[in-house]
């Protein structure tokens, strides 16, 4: 869990909380002990909520789960044997590095002139029978931008996200600087 503030300068207002508590303790004696403590606690809670809202508190829950998308170039500039080796490397990497206890996710995007999800992110090893032979993409170009955009949008937002790109770097479409 991570706590941050947009305007932390307003946190100095918390020095007023003990003053409000002591003032209320003296002024609310006629209520009796239980009601007086309840009234003071309510006042302090409301004031603290207002101070935190003014300071712009942000609470981020950090997940230990990781999503990895392998983005594999299938354009004509990559020969078939290399395509198969790229998928096999991704499959072996997932088998070796995925943490089953955390339920890490892994998936594969194939791309050429367009991109397609070959294996959606899931929490098991990549299948052996998926890969190069099943993909029906336009291979007459390379659009890395579309592939990276598809990979980023296909991963769940509540995980740590990683993209591993296998390409020869000859981009013919899109404007990716990766």
Question: pLDDT at position 31, please?
Answer: 85
SS3 58: strand
Question: pLDDT at position 56, please?
Answer: 92
Which residue in 107, 108, 177 sits closest to 144, CA to CA?
177
The first and second tokens of residue 171, run together, are: 């981009």
With vertex at residue 92, the alpha carbon angle to CA 71 and CA 72, rounded to the nearest 5 degrees, is 15
Q: pLDDT (tens digit, 0 to 9) for every residue of the chain, 178 residues total?
A: 678 888 999 999 999 999 988 888 888 878 888 998 898 999 999 999 999 999 999 987 777 888 999 998 888 888 888 888 888 888 888 888 888 778 888 889 988 888 888 888 888 777 776 555 555 676 777 778 888 999 999 988 888 889 999 887 766 665 655 4
Q: How many CA atoms lie within 13 A of 25 on its CB side?
A: 7
Output the DSSP codes for 51-82. HHHHHTEEEEPPP--EEEEEEEE-STTS-HHH
Question: pLDDT at position 135, please?
Answer: 55
User: pTM higher than 0.85 for the full model?
Assistant: no
């Amino acid at each position: 869990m991570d706590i941050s503030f947009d305007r932390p300068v307003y946190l100095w207002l918390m020095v007023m909380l003990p003053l409000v508590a002591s003032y209320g303790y003296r002024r609310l004696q006629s209520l009796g002990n239980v009601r007086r403590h309840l009234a003071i606690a309510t006042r302090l809670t409301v004031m603290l909520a207002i101070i935190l809202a003014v300071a712009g508190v942000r609470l981020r829950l950090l997940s230990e789960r990781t999503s990895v998308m392998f983005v594999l170039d299938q354009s004509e500039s990559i020969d078939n044997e290399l395509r198969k080796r790229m998928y096999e490397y991704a499959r072996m990497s997932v088998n070796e590095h995925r943490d089953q206890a955390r339920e890490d996710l892994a998936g594969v995007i194939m791309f050429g002139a367009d991109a397609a999800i070959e294996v959606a992110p899931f929490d098991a090893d990549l299948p052996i029978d998926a890969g190069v032979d099943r993909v029906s993409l336009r291979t007459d170009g390379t659009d890395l931008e579309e592939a990276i955009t598809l990979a980023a949008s296909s991963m769940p937002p509540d995980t740590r996200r990683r993209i591993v790109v296998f390409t020869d770097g000859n981009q013919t479409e899109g404007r990716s600087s990766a």
